[in-house]
Amino acid sequence: MKSVDTDFSYTSQDKEASLWSFLRDIPHGFFLTVETGYPLQGAVTQDLYEQGWSGINITADANGYEMVQALRPDDRNIYAHVAESETISPQNGVAVLSLEAICRYYAPAVFELLHLGETADKAAVIRSLQWQLHRPRVVLVQLDAVDSLAWEALLTQHHYCFMQHFGRQRVYLAAEQLNVLMADLVQCRRDAATLAQQHEVLKGEQARILNELQDVYSSKAWRITLPLRLVRHYGKGLWRQLRNRLAT
The yes-or-no verdict on residue 124 having pLDDT over 80 is: yes
| Residue from 58, 48, 74 nearest 117 by CA | 58
Taking only the tens place, the pLDDT of each residue in 153-192 is 999 999 999 988 877 889 899 988 876 555 544 455 555 5
pLDDT one-digit tens code per residue, 130-153 = 999 999 999 999 998 888 899 999
The pLDDT tens digits for 55-108 are 999 999 999 899 999 989 899 999 999 998 877 776 777 899 999 999 999 999
What average pLDDT is seen over the chain?
78
So what's the pLDDT on residue 221?
A: 66
pLDDT of residue 29: 92
Map out the domains of the chain with their CATH numbers: 1-248 (3.40.50.150)
The pLDDT value recorded for residue 53 is 92
Q: Which residues lie across from 139 on neighbouring strands?
A: 114, 172
pLDDT for position 199: 67
Residue 30 has pLDDT above 90, yes or no: yes
